[in-house]
Amino acid sequence: MFGSWGELGGIWLGALAAAALLHSSTAAAEFRFDRDTFAFQNATVLKYHDGIALFRPKSEASDPANSYTRRCFVMTRTAMQFRKFARFNPHGAALNDQELAQRIRAVAHRKPWLAALPENQRIVFPGYSNLREISKARTQVFENNIGSGFVSYFRPSNMRMVFLDSKGYQEKTHQNLDAALARGDTFVAFLTTYPKMSINHAVLVYGRKKSRPGDEIEHYLVYDPNHAEAPRELTWSARECAFAYQKDIDFIGGFVRVYQAYDKPLQ
C-alpha cells in the first residue's frame, strides 16, 4: 500500500512539475512590446494632413524625416518571425555585422505561417537579451537585411480590399483574430480604408486589453512599426461589425477594414 501511494505521489509531483514548467514556458513566450518589437521605426513616404496624402516630404520637428519607409509589412512580419524562430543569449559574444546579417536573413526567410520552433532549434543571437535591445544597438544591420518594402505592394492578397469589403468578412476576421490570440499567436493586420486610402498600413496585434464594465467595444494591443515608442490600439464594435484604429499624425483615426496577413501562403 505504501509503495502504491509513493508511486502515485511521484506521479502527481511529476505532473505538477510539468504543469509548472509548461506555465513558465508559456508565460515566457507571451509577446511583450518592450522586448519583442524593433527599436527603430518605419515612416510613411508621403505627408498626411487630416487623412489626405500630400506629395511633399516630412520636415516638421514634430514629424521628422525618415528615410526608412514602406517597411510596415516587412517589420510586422519579421517581428512575428523572430518570436517564432529566434532566441537570444545575452551571455554570448556579439556577432560581427556579416554574421549578424546572415542570421537575420535566415530568420526573415522562414515562412511566417509555420509553427514556432522549439528552443533548441531556433536561430541564436548572442550578446543581446531581446529583439528590442539588439535592433537598437545594430539598427543599420537590421534595416539592411529584413527585406524590401516594395514587394508588399504586389502581395496577391492585397486585392481582398477590392473584392472582400463586407461586414460579414470583417466579422470572420474578428473571429480569426480572437482565435489567434487565444492560441498565443500574434496577428498581422493589414489596415485599409479603400477606396479612400487614408490608411494603407500593416500592424501586429498581440493582445487584448481588459474590458471596462459596460464597455461594448473590444480593445486590442498593437505593435505599429511607425510607433516604436509605445503600443497602439485597435478596437472592434460588435454593434457596427467594424474595426477602428487609433488616431495619429498620419491617420485621422476611426473606421478601418482589417485583413489578416502571413497566416498562409500568398496571404
- C-alpha cell read off for 79: 517581428
Domains of the chain, residue spans: 36-150, 152-261
- The CB density around residue 202, as the number of other CB atoms within 10 Å, is 25
Q: Where are the extended beta strands (E) located within 112-199?
A: 123-126, 187-192
Cα separation of 4 and 155, whole Å? 62
Look at phi and psi of residue 214 and say left if phi exceeds 0, alpha if psi is from -120 to 50, else beta.
left
Cα separation of 58 and 68, whole Å? 12
Nearest residue to 148 via CA among 89, 90, 78: 78
CB neighbour list of residue 88: distance below 8 Å, 6 or more residues apart: 124, 125, 126, 128, 129, 130, 131, 133, 134
Model pTM score: 0.84
Q: What is the pLDDT of residue 159?
A: 85
Q: Which residue has the cell 463586407?
A: 166
Q: Which residue has the cell 492585397?
A: 158
Q: What is the pLDDT of residue 64?
A: 56
Q: Give the relative orientation of helices 97-108 and 72-85 as an angle to the nearest 10 degrees.
A: 90
Q: Please name the residue ranges forming H helices in the chain.
A: 2-29, 33-36, 72-85, 97-108, 131-137, 139-145, 160-163, 167-182
Q: What is the pLDDT of residue 11?
A: 41
Q: What is the pLDDT of residue 197?
A: 81
- Please state the length of the chain: 267
Cα separation of 40 and 225, whole Å? 8
- C-alpha cell read off for 2: 505504501
Cα separation of 243 and 232, whole Å? 14
> pLDDT tens string for the chain (267 positions)?
334 434 434 444 444 444 433 333 333 479 999 999 999 999 887 777 666 767 655 556 555 566 899 999 999 999 999 999 999 999 999 999 999 999 999 999 999 999 999 999 999 999 999 999 999 999 999 999 999 887 887 888 788 888 888 999 999 999 999 999 999 999 999 999 999 888 999 999 999 998 888 789 999 999 999 999 999 999 999 999 999 999 998 899 999 999 999 999 988
Q: What is the pLDDT of residue 198?
A: 87
